[in-house]
Each structure stands twice: as C-alpha cells, then as structure tokens.
A and B are shown apart, each in its own frame.
Chain A
Amino acid sequence: MAQVKERPKPFLVSDYCKGCGRCVSVCVKGCIAFADEINPTTGVVPIVLDLEKCTGCGLCIDACPEPYGLRALEAGEEFELQDPAKLFGDKLREVTKPVDIPAEKVALPKTGPLVIKGNYASAIGAILAGCRHVFGYPITPSTEGAELMAKLQPKLGGVFLQAVSEVATVNHMYGTGGAGLPTMTFTSSPGFSLMLEGVSYMIGAEVPGVFVNIMRGGPGLGNIAPEQADVKLACHGLGHGHTHAITLMPSTPQEMLDLTILAFELTFKYRSPVLVMADGYLGQMTGKVQLPDHMIKPGIPSWAVYGDRDHRGNLISSIQLQESDLEVFNRYLQTKYESMKVEARSETFLTDDSEILLVACNTPARAAKGAVQNLRDHGIKAGLFRPITIWPFPVDQLKALLPKTKRLVVVEANAGGQIENELRLALSLAGVEKLPPITSVRRFGGLLPQQTEVVDHVMSICGK
C-alpha cells in the first residue's frame, strides 16, 4: 500500500504572532483561537493552535501576513526555541562578498581633431567614459546632447531613453547608477531645478551619475540664452539635506569633452553625483576637439545592485531611520566632502606678474582671456584665474596668487555675483582676512560680459 504523504501542519512561535486573527476565520475545523492571555514579550494576544483536527489544508498559513508567523513545518525542520538566533535552524545565508569588477581601458587609434559643438563634445566625452545609458528630457540650449546620444547610443549597444520629465530622468539615472553603470543626462537650468529631488537622493544613497547643465537665463522660464545663475544651486542648493557635488566648469569644446570624462571618473571614485556646468553659449560653440588615446569599458562596483547573484546582498537606499545612524552617515558624508577638496582645479593665464587678477568661468573666461591680452597691450599687468571646479573652490591656488594681486575683478554672467560669493566664502573659510579690493563685471538675462566691457572696467579702475 502506497504511503500517503501527510500534509504539513502549521507551526507558530507565538512571539511572532501579532494576533490579527486572519487565520482564525479560515479554519473550518476550528483549530485556531485567540489565547487567554497577553504575551508578555509582545504585548498582544496571540492565537493558539490545537492541531488535533488539523487536516493540513494550509489556508491559515496563506492567511498569515507575517513571514515568520504561521509556517508549515518542512520535513526534518527543527527549531531551537531557547536560542532565538537559531530559531529557524542555524543555516546562515551563504553570503558571496562581491568584488569590484574594474573598468578597462580600450586603446583608440590616433585620429584628427573633430570640429564640433560643446554639447556634442560633452556627449562624446560621456561615450568615451563608458556611458551607454543616457536619459533625458529635451530642453534648449542642451538638446544637441540628447540628440547626438539618441543617434549614437544605438550604434554602440547603448540606450538613450527620452524620459517623461526631468523627474523621471533623474530617477532612471538612480536605477542605472544604482546598478553600478555610468549614466548621465543633458539638461538646462529649469530642468536641473526639477532634478534636484533626485540629486539629493543620489547623494544620500551614494549613487553615481553625471549631470551636464547647460545654463540658461532665469528665473522661471527666463530665456534660452546663456547665463551662469545656477552656481548657487550647484554649490549650496542640491536639494534637501547635507548635499554637495563636485562641479566642473568647462570653457572650451575640448574641455566639454575632457571634463565630462573626468566627471565620470570622479562620480565613481566618490560614489556621488558630479555636475558639469556650462553656459548656453559654450554648448553651441564649435571648436577643435582632440580625442584621447583610449576609452573606458566600465566594470561593476562591488556595491552595485546589478541584479545578479554576486550583488544580491546589496541595497541602494538613502534611509537612515534611527537618528544616531543618520548622524553617523552625515559625519561620513562630511568627511567625504572634505576628501573631495583635492579635486579642486584651476587654470591661470599670464599670472606670473599679474597685479589685476580677473576671475571667470565658462565662456566669460574666454572674454576675460581676450581682455587680459588687450590690457597687456595697454601696459596693464592683468592675468586670469579660472576655476575649473567651482565646488570645491580652488582656494589654495587662488591664495597663492593673492600676495602680488592688487585688485580682483570677477567677470560673470549672473546678477548676484554667484561666483564672487563662492570666492569670498572660500577665502573666508580659508582664513584669508585681508583681501584686495574686489570689483565685478556682470551681465545677465542671457547676455554675457563682453571683452570690451572687461577692458573698459579694468582701465577705469586703473585710472586710465
């Protein structure tokens, strides 16, 4: 006679019963009832089982909302009721500790320079950095970036997905970046505003991603002409919480390519978003762009939630529910921000003997550079200090130039002096108390400071 396999009957550790009673009503045999007393550990009244009449139908198990509530006793399963750690056997999960799969360099043949727009150069930079996942929402004056990606990514096995909004964009990036792959977007000021929620989450969850913000005139819809009015947003307003991001400020199409590549390196180095911010003029500017001698084939970092066995134990999350945990995390973030300070970069032009030091970023730095040349023709010892990172501000590099600087002139395309404010804050935090007089040349509303305006300003403060 064939043996009838007995169906498993329910088992319950009453500490894990919340006493909801969803199992009580489904038992047709009346095996389940509420206990007479409150469980002293949990403070609730659990159910009790009387399995004499139990047929092992399993309906009570299906009705129990707790993973470790009513369970079927598997054949051979044993419990150690005295030792909670071994309650369900001491079979600890096999944890495979993931290792970093490093990125590789792929050699490129030597090619002649490309003659391309800044936006295109940045897109090609991202491709060179190994980015095959681009998300974006079209917005002038950044759209060429998205358009080129839509054209090139499919040819290179990559994905360009036009998102339903900038909010969706940054969250697609959160997913792909959380999976450990390089991802980026092109946007412009109003779009960047919309992404800031996601940027805060990316910083909190330590998700890499590159944002190319081709700044335009604001506030509101403003216009589509160039401005540099998102500096304060990048340096002090990246969504809620303790947020900062390395912010690169290119000034040529070549730098649009080079700094986009650098942005990917830094975003993975620090597991934190990196911004490339250019003005609308630079995005549209065509120039000579030399390709590097290699491109990057990305790996998969050990922390990624890639969706495979090795990375199964990982979590991407910005939640630290316990106050003490969040404090510890934010201390760690502050240490991380401090460590980013070594990435401060700048360039100087004719500063060996300069007494009038111009400070400018992006396209205004080009006008300032031209002005330095003009001023020198007029016998004025002018030089240019160009922050390449606006956060962290290259304060050490600037400090070194201060002893011989008689005047600082900040040239920028916004109304409130956002770059000047960064400069003042950085010098103040660095303990520099005695500053040379600071004046400014500012245009905004979509207009950039012109070379002649810079020359005229400096001539006038020099009394010429």
Chain B
Amino acid sequence: MSVFYEKFERHAHGEGLKGQSTHYCAGCGHGLAHKYLADAIAELGIQDTTVLVSPVGCSVFAYYYFDTGNTQAAHGRAAAVALGHKMANPEATVISYQGDGDLASIGLAETVAAAQLGAPITVIFINNAIYGMTGGQMAPTTLMGQKTATSPDGRNQFNGMPIKMAELIAQLDGPVYVERVALFSPAERRKAAKAIKKAIQIQKEGRGYAFVEVLAECPTHLKLMPDQSEKWVKENMVPIFPLGVKKDTVGEPWFKLAEPDFDAKHFVKAVGASSDATDRFCKTFATHLNPIDISLKLAGSGGDGAQTAAMLIATAAINEGFDGTHIPAYGPESRGGTSYADVHVAKDEVLNPASPTPDILLAFNAPSLAKFGITVKKGGFILYDSSIAKDVKPMDPSITVVGVPFAEIAAGLGNMVVKNIVALGALQAATGLFPKETFMAAIKQALKDKAKLIPLNEQAFDAGVKAAQEFLAAKKR
C-alpha cells in the first residue's frame, strides 16, 4: 500500500494527467527522494502519525502527493513549523522536507536552531546546487564557477563559497544522525533510501534530531540531459559535498513531553491564588486623605525598596476590598538609578493609575524629595528619610511634612532591607491610610515563604510608627 495518494486531487484538482503525474521536470531528483520517503513511511507503519512539512521551492507541493498530514510552511521556516507540530503532538512523526534555498539560505537561523535544539524531527535536505522554482538562480550550494541566472559568469569569490550543510549540522551538539547521500547510481540510491528510513526510525523511537542531505539532479536548470546531470552531480558536486555519514551518535530514547495538565488544583497552586478569605481591618475608606481615590508616589534609588513598599500598599488596598494599582518606573532606571512608583487606593475603581499630583509622597532620598515634593497636592503629606535628606526646603504650609530616619532605624535593627517597612510604619502613623493590621497582613502575605523574617518586619514597622508619632508630637510643641 503506497503512501502516495491514489489520485493527486490537490494537483490542479487532479485533472487529466496531473491526477497521477508529479509537477517535477523529467529526471528531477525530488521524485526519487519522494519515493524513498514514501517507502520509508510505509515500511515503518507511520503513515497515520506523519506530518510532512513542505517548504517553498520546487517541493512546495509535496502535499499533492503524500497521503499523510500536511503543512505547507513559509520560505525557510519549515524546521520551525515542524517543531511547532512536534511540541503539539510528540507522538506525531514530523518530517521537514526542504531545498537548498529554503534550508541553507533564507531559513539558516531556523535550520541551525532546530538542529541544535535536538528534538526528534527528521529533516530531508535536497541539495541540487540551484534555485529551481524561481528559474535557475544561484543557490547557497551553487558550486564555484557554476553559471546560473544570478551568477552569469560563474559563481566567484564575491558570491561566497558553497555552504556545506551536512558538515555544519554535524558539528552541532543537538543532532544525533547526519548523512549526505546521492541519487546518481543504484548503489547511491539504495544508501539514500536507507538513510531516509533511518532518520525517521530515529524520530519514531524518540532518539533525537536527524538530518539527511540528498545531492539531487536538476536537469532543467543544469541544462543537461538527465543522465548527464547524474554524471554532473557525481563528478562536480561530490568532491565539494563528500558523501557519507557525518555524525552518528544515536543513543537511548529520551524525548518525552508531559501531558498538558488541566487540573484545577494544580492551576490554582501554580498561579498562587488562594481560596482563603483575607481579613479586613478598615472600618471606612480614608476619606480624610481623598474622598474617592488616594494617589501616592514612592521614590528613591534602586534598592531602596520603593517598589516593594508600593506593592504592599496596593495589595493591602485590594485585601480591604478597595481597588489598588501600582505602576513602577521601569527600564534602565530601575536597575540602580532612580526608582519610583505610582500607587492608587480607590474606594471603588482607580480611574487613572498615574500619580502626577500625589496626595502622599514617600521619598527615600533628597533628589526624589526635591523632584516630587513640589507636585504634592495641597493638604497632602510628605514623608522622607531624614537620615539621608537634610536641609529640606519649606513646602506649602498646608502639606504635612514628616522626616523619619528610615535608614538609621533599619541599620539599628541590623538589616537595611527593612528600610521600606520602617517607611510604611511612618506612613501609617502620619496619614492613617490603613490601620496597622492591614499593613501587617499584607507584609505577612508577602513573606509567607519567609516566615522567619516576619518578627523583624513587624519591629521595623513599629519603629517607623513610633518615630513618626514622635516627630509629629515634637512639631506640635
């Protein structure tokens, strides 16, 4: 039973001779490679599971002939498409069948990447040293001196040298089997058929990536009779593209993909969702700060913990049933330079998550205080690290300015990392955004895998609260 369709319905709707005749020219090597591929598929009993990926080039219409699953790929992308099929169904036998322009020129990156990945796909590479479909132009494998439509005086050094794909692929770590074969004699044809079968067998057994380069005849564009073109391949191509096994390190089967998992519990665990209700501590929304939507800006240097503190505020808001948002300034700045975050806490819905004119500014250093202090709304709050920012310029008298030595307090606790938690404590005491319990619940949530650090964080928070209260009390006196 042949793997070829009984009738080539896809070949011009199977009309006339096209129903049983290929589109290839007389004596073309593709037909032979097709036959050996079809025989291999039949002999290995894998017709049902085979997906053949056809390229752009003369073999673009391979799907006319093979009674298997078929996908037609963009020029050069067949290996990438083949990997997509293999990942989708690891049980499928995926064969990428490509010519020299497709595999060795436009698709070189995809070819090499797929080979190096090493996943078991089979790549059949037809090298006939010419572009057939577009009408006899130079291929990456065209020989030096060979005249083509785009190397009319013969390929020369300005066109580069022919690329030896089998050798290139063989020196990669991914492939397990690489062989170059030819079609010009009964002996070579036997070897070609054998190599193609082996390359598929290796995939069938999950042993890895296999590559077979087939030196093929293009009598039409070589402008030779078929028998002369066989001779031409033997005499001219073989010295440049030596035949034989280039790599054979076929080992044990290794390729196996897990079954896609749609278990609800696994999903919930993976994304870190929780069915536990979070406790709420707020009696009302902090309308004294803003009736519906409180905007904050947290600013410092990268490493001050402004982003973490911002996330904790947004999380706390959402835990309380309010809306909360956080936008970091990101990019190169976030890796060592200025780091600032816009945070909103809204009674119902944050309309605009940006904070160009915040109700509250939390500044970890002097430049941040200078830059954003002037943007704070009248009646708002500014908290800053008084151990770093000195000589604070006077602000609008309606703004409550609170200096707390975040860094000094954290250093006193023996861990600078909690500087931002000291700041949150100060923020809580000065503004009453949320009760202390709300902040602590968010902190504990964030530290659920590092429970040992909770007491230190609570100490830091309390120290921040105390320092802010003392500052405000002193200010009153």
Contact = CB atoms under 8 A, between A and B. Distances in A.
A287 B353 contact: yes
Interface stretch (A59-67, A269-277, A351-359, A418-426): A59-67
Interface string B162-206: 000000000000000000000000100110010000000000000
B92 A306 contact: yes
Given A20-B27, A287-B350, A174 B20 contact: no
B273 A366 contact: no
Give the most central of B2, B271, B276: most A CB within 10 Å: B271
B35 A65 contact: yes
Contact of B20 (A68, A161, A179, A316): A68
A107 B50 CA distance: 35
A124 interface: yes
Interface string A67-100: 1110000000000000011011001110000000
Interface string A289-327: 001000101000000011111011111111101100000
Contacts of B5: 93
Contact of B30 (A65, A85, A366): A65
Contact of B354 (A88, A307, A322, A366): A366
B109 A309 contact: no
B35 A373 contact: no
Given A66-B22, A127-B271, A306 B88 contact: yes
Interface in B50-65: 50-51, 53, 60-61, 63, 65
A115 interface: yes
A393 interface: no
Contacts of B35: 62, 64-65, 67
B69 A311 contact: yes
A41 B17 contact: yes
Contact of B71 (A109, A114, A175): A175
B185 to A, nearest CB: 8
Contacts of B325: 285-287
Contact of B311 (A109, A128, A180, A286): A286
A84 B19 contact: yes
A124 B25 CA distance: 52
Contacts of A451: 352, 354, 356
Contacts of B91: 307-308
A286 B307 CA distance: 11
Contacts of B61: 319
A174 B29 CA distance: 29
A366 B355 CA distance: 12
A68 B264 contact: no
A67 B4 contact: yes
Give the most central of B34, B81, B259, B311: most A CB within 10 Å: B81
Contacts of A346: none
A110 interface: yes
Interface in B383-434: none
Contacts of A167: 77, 80, 109-110
B38 A179 contact: no
A281 B178 CA distance: 48
Contacts of B457: none
Contacts of B268: 108-109, 111
Contacts of B22: 65-67
A148 B444 CA distance: 23
Give the most central of B94, B264, B315, B327: most A CB within 10 Å: B327
A183 B84 contact: yes
A308 B193 CA distance: 24
B63 A317 contact: yes
A15 interface: yes
A451 B358 CA distance: 13
Contacts of B89: 179, 306-308
Nearest to B27: A20
Given A67-B22, A92-B6, A311-B69, A287 B314 contact: yes
B288 interface: no
Contacts of B277: 112
Contact of B273 (A111, A165, A318): A111
Interface in B230-282: 230, 257-264, 266-268, 270-278
B227 interface: yes
A145 interface: no
Contact of A315 (B72, B73, B230): B72
Interface string B60-99: 1101010111111110010011111111110111100000
A109 B275 contact: yes
Nearest to B117: A161
Contacts of A155: 261, 266, 270
A121 B119 CA distance: 31
A260 B44 CA distance: 42
A241 to B, nearest CB: 12
Contact of A306 (B24, B69, B257, B331): B69
B348 to A, nearest CB: 11
B84 A307 contact: no
A253 to B, nearest CB: 8
A398 B406 CA distance: 52
Given A307-B91, A451-B352, A175 B81 contact: yes
A366 to B, nearest CB: 5
Nearest to A366: B352
Nearest to A42: B17
A307 B93 contact: yes
Nearest to B445: A115
A176 B84 contact: yes
15 contacts: A62-B186, A65-B32, A87-B20, A92-B6, A164-B112, A168-B113, A176-B84, A305-B51, A307-B91, A308-B69, A315-B63, A315-B70, A315-B71, A363-B353, A450-B356
The 10 lowest CB-CB distance pairs between A and B, nearest first, are A175-B84, A307-B92, A65-B31, A370-B352, A20-B27, A179-B88, A164-B113, A171-B80, A317-B72, A18-B26
Interface of A: 13, 15-16, 18-22, 24-26, 41-42, 44, 59, 62-69, 84-85, 87-88, 91-93, 106-115, 124, 127-128, 130, 132-133, 135, 140-141, 152, 154-159, 161, 163-165, 167-168, 171-181, 183, 197-198, 201, 205, 223-225, 281, 284-288, 291, 295, 297, 305-309, 311-319, 321-322, 363, 366-367, 369-373, 448, 450-452
